[in-house]
Structure 1
Amino acid sequence: MAEGYSEAFEVLEGGSELKLETSPTPTNSGRFSFSRTSSTGSNAAGCASSTSSAQNTDDEDSDKPAMSYKDKRREAHTVAEQKRRDNIKRGYDELQSIVPTCHQSDGLSGQKMSKANVLQRSIEYMQYLVKQKSKQEDDLDSLRKEVMALKIMKANYEHIVKTHQNTPVHGQNQVPDEVKFQVFQQVMDTLFQSFNANISVANFAELSACVFSWLEEYCKPKSLQEVVLGILRQLNTTLNH
């Protein structure tokens, strides 16, 4: 290597520059010095800063104590218990809004109704609904029987109407009103004859006794039937001739 000259050798290793410098000496033997610099300049400094920040974050995370299995189970149990209580409270609130007797607050203290009172009044209201349902079923059964009876009456009336329609024309074989009056007149005449023959009007007490005695003897259903039958036979004989 010539005297008075310096040579520099650059070797690229993994993105870094290796710089080799030589300087002349009286013995013509070179002294070598090595220095390593970044090939990207300021980018190397940025990478170093990012690496330092990431290491700081990892250090902060590592400072927090990790939750154990028991702690996780305890936290999950607490969340589940709170959810269960919220559901129970929501159920009581809905029950209180549905049951009419639970709408008003406690009259004595003026505070919100307790859960025990909500349950008690709900039970009483359900028992009331059961009784009302039973009563309505009885009323419905009674109405069904009435409907059945009305249907039977309707069928009977329809039968009567059909029978009446099948009878002879109006006026044929019809008894005149004069004949009806004759039957009634003869029945009354027969009763009056027996009444006049057996009733005494000397005083009110005797009149009352005679009237009751006459009713028991001459106004029995069988006695009246015999009188009417006799009159009808006589009238029938008269009309046929």
Structure 2
Amino acid sequence: MSLPHGMIDSVDNMKMEPSSPTDRDRFPFSRSSSTGSLHTLSSSAPNSGEGQGGVATGNMSSSSGHDDEDSDNKSSTISYKERRREAHTQAEQKRRDAIKKGYDSLQDLVPTCQQTDSSGYKLSKATVLQKSIDYIQFLLQQKKKQEEERNALRKEVVALRIMQANYEQIVKAHQNQPGQAEMRVSDETKFQVFQTVMDQLFLTFSNISVANFAELSACVISWLEEHCKPQALHQLVVSILQQLNSQMMQGNIRG
């Protein structure tokens, strides 16, 4: 079938007429770039996700590490406090045991603390301490009294030793004079002299008042000053010896 000439021309004109550029021809790089960009975004998105995931994983691991360290520090702190509290408790218990042992030993040592009170209960610590103080004061008084008695006994021993030495010298002096053996005085004569002296002194001492200690002390001092002076005793002994001598002479004459 043949076409009309006009239509053939129009067809030719359409063929010869350049076609309008399409979007692809005008922007040959836009789609590819957009596709590339989308590809880049799509390809970079997983990479970015992987990076963020790695960072997050690292952060999680580091935070878990810090948590472990904190928990270790807390546990070590708690254990240190517990050990310190336990050590303090043990030290306090030892101190209390030592105090209790000391009170028990003190109660065993003090005689007045060994019995319980009237109610039957155990003595309190304050009572034990007070009774111990009283007992120590009693012991100190006894010690002072015994020291005074010891000093008095020492003085008496010294005086007796001096007297012993004097009598020993007298005995030696008499032993060194054998020619005067017949002139020695017998023990009976010595006792007779002593008895006579004591009788004379007792006669004067019988007038002393003994109503109370004050009067006795005053009278004894006055009696000693009056009758026991060396001159008075010398005169008394001389008179007694003269009397005995005269009695002996009379006895010899009669015999």
TM-score w.r.t. the length of structure 1 is 0.44
Name whichever structure is richer in strand by fraction. Answer: 1
Q: Which structure has the larger Rg?
A: 2
Q: Please report the TM-score for the alignment, with normalisation by the length of structure 2.
A: 0.41
